[in-house]
Structure 1
Amino acid sequence: MSTGLIIALIVIVAAVLIVAAVLFLRARRGGQGGRSLKGRFGPEYDRAVARHDGDTKAAERELSERVQRHGSLHERPLEPAQRQQYEARWAAAQEHFVDSPQQAVAEADQLLAELAGAKGFPDGGRYEEQLAALSVHHARHVDGYRRVHRAAHAGAGGGAGMAAVGQSGTAGTEEMREAMIEARLLFEELVGQSETKRHRPAPPESAKPADGQHHAPWAITRRHAKGS
């Protein structure tokens, strides 16, 4: 075998090994990227996979694009007066749920859009973009906003739209109640409530109405809410 042929074979083998190494590293990075995305997005990762009919690669591309667009976003802190205003409006929305669940979810949807905008996320007028940005930074609770928005707009549309949240009976009210409860978790993250305040089970006795006819605004339960 000539020296030239030996050299050619060595070059070919080296090229094959280099290509194999590159493919291996890409596959490894892809797997690590998938695990990283799943860890970052949690339940939002599973929703993306389901939305792409189980295609994890397509879901990961979508989530990676969200991170590229919104990962560098820095949330703006709220002034104490702003925080108090938002908390008062949320409490009012929860109070309204007792007599008008549909009004309450509409108020919660509008409030979350405004609050996210005040925190530096895309304007609420661009709901899909705002939701995508929130999913990057608040993936664990962003679905509450999605559910409230869906309930608010389905009810406003009437007809077939109401099927998304049920009719005006118990089923629709229950869906809206659960949406409000989940959305509150996102609200609390955005306003920056302390862990003590967030998990406090009940207000002081002095804060409860004396007549006992009204319930605390966070006590959205089946027996409190009337049909919408």
Structure 2
Amino acid sequence: MVTLSPLAIATGLIALAVIFGVVVTLVRVRKSARLRDRFGDEYQRTVEDAGGTHRGETVLHERERRVAALDIRPLSPSRREDFILAWRQVQAQFVDDPAGAVMRADVLLTDVMNARGYPVAEFEQRYEDISVDHGEVVAHYRTGHHIAESHARGEGGTEELRRAMIHYRALFDDLVNEPEDFGPVIEHRGGRVHDLRREPVRRN
């Protein structure tokens, strides 16, 4: 029977603690990288607003879980064409009625979200839900919405409204044109959220 000295036991425990620490760090780094990849610029904004990386990532995980429980679906080809036509009409309206066109664009975006399966809610809730699958462009929604609100208070002019339309268009294109198939976007399996668009296609 081998008897370990107290020094050997202490050294072994220290080594195990170091290994455990490295594993935990690697897991956290991978989780952070995944969230950065999914949420884009929204990751940093959320972390800053939450006051730290851990709190911010917890907020983003909660968004993922909430959206995973929703029935998010792509648009049918006919609905997609209807929305594209409606957007063209909004753009044409901007020539004679910039403020009205921006208000209509905001409503149209909400209609697209509703058709995709996002619940009707206040702006902040819509923004957070959209950020899960559209992190790279969701900031355009916030900027456009803020410009529209400022104009409603009598601030800003036509050029600002034009910028709002550009911001709205970025999110509109993303919402209307993806995903391209009729499979689910994300699903909740075993307590974890899976982005199905990022998983390899299984071939029979």
TM-score (norm 1): 0.65
- Whole-angstrom CA distance in 1 between matches of 2:46 and 2:55: 9
Which structure's CA Rg is the greater one? 1
- Whole-angstrom CA distance in 2 between matches of 1:89 and 1:193: 18
Contact 1:142 1:183 in 2 (8 A): no
- Whole-angstrom CA distance in 2 between matches of 1:87 and 1:64: 32
CA separation of 1:135 and 1:194: change in aligned 2, threshold 3 A? closer
Structure 2 alignment gaps of length 5 or more: 181-204
- Whole-angstrom CA distance in 2 between matches of 1:63 and 1:12: 40
- Whole-angstrom CA distance in 1 between matches of 2:35 and 2:159: 32
Identity rate, percent: 34
Contact 1:66 1:133 in 2 (8 A): yes
2:188 aligned with 1:191: no
- Whole-angstrom CA distance in 2 between matches of 1:176 and 1:144: 13
- Whole-angstrom CA distance in 1 between matches of 2:59 and 2:178: 31
Q: Deviations over 1:74-122 (max 9, x none)?
A: 5323233322332222122222222222212211111111111110122
| 1:107 alignment partner in structure 2 | 104
Structure 1 alignment gaps of length 5 or more: 196-228
- Whole-angstrom CA distance in 2 between matches of 1:27 and 1:177: 46
| 1:154 alignment partner in structure 2 | 150
SS at match of 1:98: helix
**Count of equivalent residues:** 179
| 1:26 alignment partner in structure 2 | 24
Q: Deviations over 1:22-71 (max 9, x none)?
A: 22211121122222222222222233244346x33433332232223224
What amino acid is aligned across from residue 136 of structure 2 in structure 1?
R
TM-score (norm 2): 0.72
Q: Deviations over 1:117-169 (max 9, x none)?
A: 1101222x23322211211111121122222322333333x2xxx5xxx43x3
CA RMSD of aligned residues (A): 2.9
